[in-house]
Chains A and B, each alone.
Chain A
């Protein structure tokens, strides 16, 4: 590809430092781009960003709030990432989150009373099962009938959220309440706080490390990457692709369900309508920005958690809270555009007559549709 004297050439390899540096540069550019929209809406971007950073990252209380806000995002990011690892687009983390919370919530609110650590463990697995089963609907349709999982997982979001809405306005609604929420769950099921930070963070770290090891060092992880890179090769090599679709999507759903677990036991302590609040979609952004690396997901989640956390403080300045989603989208688009520079390098052409003539010739043959190497 050529633009004037600039030419883009395909790179053979990408150095690791470039791979890391590139998204960072384009995340920064994304912030620049979003300040254009902030200005378009009549606000000054620098004070807005300044306030956001000082509030959510530069003091202990804000940082703790950001980490807590990041907690469900971490699981949603892991959920989307594991599906991406096999080229499956699970954009249904939002609904799986809700279903996880419904399964776990049913146990916490109406199930048998169990002694403290056991009840939490049971609830954890019920949340995972709820999310996993919900994703399994899309997984089964994909595996057996090759139905587009993107649309199905998304449609299931609407259904799950409406069901959650029904429960919280209907049979589960707390007495003497006007908002759609249940009573609080038993106190001994709360995730303990360690210095203000929810201990769910350790759960996130453990699961992220396990996922990282699974993807990198096990046969299963290797086979997933084979399926991603070439479905045909995988089928030829006898990898049970259908089984993997079922397992990976169910696992993805289970992780989103666990996001429901940490949200209910760690943060809101009850089940309420609109519980996921867009975390499932933020998970898509996180998975992409961290290139599906489970360990990087933890870090990026804190960044986006800080963004979410700081929406409260900019609202005081009159800035709409939707600034959070807008910035997320801008960051993602910016990093997508930046990917190009991982694949291509820029070459400047010197305008000496020799090469100019050659280029003209080249142009000529290109117009005629000749092969250009």
Chain B
């Protein structure tokens, strides 16, 4: 029983990490006032480009870098539309969703369903990994998980404890005041949108380079959307996003494993679990029956136009 629980917990962490990169990236982007609805598609682009590189070169580091580069480029395009051309962010996000899922399927067709020779394998950390239960859950993971152990505290520290983080929060609340203080609001938004997209593509790489070792059209299967809803769920705080991701990870992994124990229920119903859980969690955490001050950045989804001032 203990080994069952530890294996579920370890799998839940892997699942959680694969959505956390995107969720934390999106937290930064939304804190900067730009909502990117296209996460699901951008994640697919990351998964596809990373896998393509590994398939052709068998070089994991290069694949990781290519993934980030693709993310930065997509972010640049998204920022150009929403920051410079001041297009509607929701419409842009939907366009990116369709564009990126189409493009990833189109470009990735030649490598669909083929397994790659290499993938990121778990690296047990000497010493720590031999701790019973905890070691198995936390320290027999791959590089994406260990990197996440660094990203979580760093992102929390950055947002709440540094001057740059203060400016980021101000950017999402009142960009005009930052502009008046002589700060280049547009450049900041470009930077955070690109950072968010790069993080999102890393999430995609998690799925095609570590979670599995193949690429399939639409293989993220809604994970991008779960990451997106985590942002509102977490009230724009990476710490809560971690809790939420673990919750969704646990539910999904439990769903997959329950099929073995309760085979009477059709597998499709287990498949519905994470999506239903997302709706329920969203209602509980963002429903207006909570008489709590909304922490949503005030300038979220608002275009900033100097000429409107």
Contact = CB atoms under 8 A, between A and B. Distances in A.
B251 to A, nearest CB: 13
Contacts of B98: 281, 284-285, 325, 328-329, 332
How many A residues are at the interface, by size bracket?
35 or more
A306 interface: no
Nearest to A282: B98
Given A288-B91, A336-B91, A340-B86, A163 B105 contact: no
A145 interface: yes
Interface in B197-237: 217, 221-222, 225, 228-229, 232
Contacts, number: 155
Nearest to A285: B98
B90 A154 contact: no
A240 interface: no
A325 B87 contact: no
30 contacts: A10-B307, A40-B107, A41-B106, A41-B107, A89-B94, A150-B37, A151-B225, A151-B228, A152-B279, A155-B275, A155-B278, A158-B221, A159-B272, A162-B272, A166-B266, A285-B98, A322-B109, A327-B102, A329-B102, A332-B94, A332-B95, A332-B99, A333-B95, A333-B99, A336-B81, A336-B87, A336-B91, A367-B182, A369-B179, A372-B307
* Secondary structure dominating the interface of A: helix
B99 A320 contact: no
B242 to A, nearest CB: 20
Given A170-B266, A322-B217, A333-B99, 5 more contacts: A141-B279, A154-B225, A284-B98, A326-B102, A372-B307
A158 B275 contact: yes
A159 B276 contact: yes
A37 B107 contact: yes
B96 interface: yes
A337 interface: yes
B279 A324 contact: no
Contacts of B287: 141, 145-147
Interface string A323-360: 11111111011001101100000000000000000000
* Secondary structure dominating the interface of B: helix
Q: Which of A40, A145, A329, A371 has the most CB of B within 10 A?
A: A329
A236 B68 CA distance: 48
Contacts of B307: 10, 372-373
Interface string A110-141: 00000000000000000000000000000001
A322 B90 contact: no
How many B residues are at the interface, by size bracket?
35 or more
Contacts of A155: 222, 225, 229, 275-276, 278-279
Interface in B101-143: 101-103, 105-107, 109
Interface of A: 1, 10, 37, 40-41, 89, 91, 141, 145-148, 150-152, 154-156, 158-159, 162-163, 165-166, 169-170, 281, 284-285, 288, 320, 322-330, 332-333, 336-337, 339-340, 367-369, 371-373
B283 interface: yes
B90 A372 contact: no
B111 to A, nearest CB: 11
Q: Give the 9 A-B CB pairs with smallest separation, nearest first.
A: A329-B99, A325-B102, A322-B105, A326-B102, A320-B109, A145-B287, A166-B268, A329-B98, A146-B288
